[in-house]
Every structure is written in structure tokens, then in C-alpha cells.
Amino acid sequence: MLEYKLYYWALPFRGNFIQLFLEEVGAQYERHDAGEIYPERSLGIHNPGMAPPYLYECKSKTYFAQMPACLMHLGREYDYLPRRAETHTLALKTILDCNDVLMEITNSNGQVMWTKSNWEAFRYARLPEWMKVFENTGLRHGLKDGGSNGMGFLLGSRLTVADIATAALFGAMVYSFPELQGDLQENAPHIAGLCQRVEARPNIRRFLAEQREEMGRGYCGGQIEDSLRKMIG
């Protein structure tokens, strides 16, 4: 029986945060084009939201917008939230950090195109700092050395929404822009390993293989993706 409908564009960017989660837990879901809701119906749905992604939950007949809210909701439904207060709050904080990085890498969702100097300030100052925020969080809480890819998870010994979000952020970023793989490896080697481990989980691996076959290295789309490619290429 259908459990969820995800309304998003045929691109990874913000949608994959939710889609990787739905894949991980084996939920029955469909992805619909965001245009079925946005912009005409955005105000009319139960729990209106400004912009995609929208998550429709069949059992409650409710919609949720705001990617972090959708992910926290799913985390609670499927018991993928840390139990301790500190790490529970850090799970939300991690997803919000991810959303900030998405906003920054797209210059506020493409409101302004990148210039060389702005891009370099981002790539060589802000982005490494963000990567270290994730790395240091993981090392304080759950990530450990061990084996070639390391062990443990961002906020403890079990996989939570925070790991899915981290992989949706940096996994997609370095797949879409392989030039940034070295930046991640240098600034956040344990996070690089975590992303590989999350992306290798069977349901997620199958989904990403299909998505990447279909969408190639597409990231956020639009002129801002062209602008990013011009800077990185």
C-alpha cells in the first residue's frame, strides 16, 4: 500500500534527503513532479508550504513542507532519531546545517550567479569550514577509525536521519562535482567514508544507481548549476 508521495523535481538536490530516507526504510512511495503542487496548489494543501520538496503522508492525509521538517517527521515514524536529548537536537541541527550548505552553494537558490572571487571565497574558506563542522561533530560523537572507510555513525553507533542527511549533502555534491571529492577527503575524511558507507547500503545503492543512470551528474538544475559548473570546470 502506498505510504508516501514525494513532490520534487527530477534532480537530487533537496529531494534526495527525503528520497534516500524512504529508500533506506523500504517505504512504499512515489515521486511526483513538484509542478503538481508548486506553485499553484502550494497554498491550498493541508499544511501549506512555500516550496518543494513536499511530502504527502497517506495514512494521515497530510502534507509536510520544509525538507528538515519532513526528515524529522520520517525519522520519528521509523525510529531513526537519536534517543539522547543532545544527539536528538544535533540530528536536527545537522539537517539544518545541510540546508544552509545547499543555500550557500547555490547562492540563495540561484538568486545571484557565482563570480570567480565569490566562488573561491566559498570553496576555499566556507566550504572547508562546513566540512570540518561535520567531521568534528562525527569525531566527537560516533565516527571512529577502523578499516579503510572507518566505523560508526555521525551521532553514535547506529544510523540516524543525520547520516542520511550528511550523505545526501556530500555524497550528491561530490558525485555531481567530482572535483570536490579531494576537498571533502582533505577536510572531512571520516565524513567522506561515512557517505560511501551510507551510499553502499543496499536500498540506497540500488536507488542511486538508477537515479544516476537517469539524471547523470545533475545537481540543482537551472542557471545556478551552469554557473557552478563554469566555476568548477
Note the residues at the interface with ligand GSH (CB under 6 A).
13-14, 50-53, 66-67, 99, 109
Closest distance of CB 88 from ligand GSH, Å:
19
Cα–Cα distance for residue pair 151/128, rounded to 1 Å: 22
Closest distance of CB 52 from ligand GSH, Å:
5
Closest CB to ligand GSH among 113 and 151? Answer: 113
Cα–Cα distance for residue pair 184/43, rounded to 1 Å: 39
Cα–Cα distance for residue pair 176/165, rounded to 1 Å: 16
Closest distance of CB 169 from ligand GSH, Å:
12
Closest distance of CB 109 from ligand GSH, Å:
5
Closest CB to ligand GSH among 32 and 203? Answer: 32
With vertex at residue 149, the alpha carbon angle to CA 25 and CA 190, rounded to the nearest 5 degrees, is: 90
User: E-strand spans in 33-179?
Assistant: 54-57, 62-65
Closest CB to ligand GSH among 53 and 171? Answer: 53
Closest CB to ligand GSH among 119 and 219? Answer: 219
Sheet of 62-65, strands arranged across: 29-32, 4-7, 54-57, 62-65
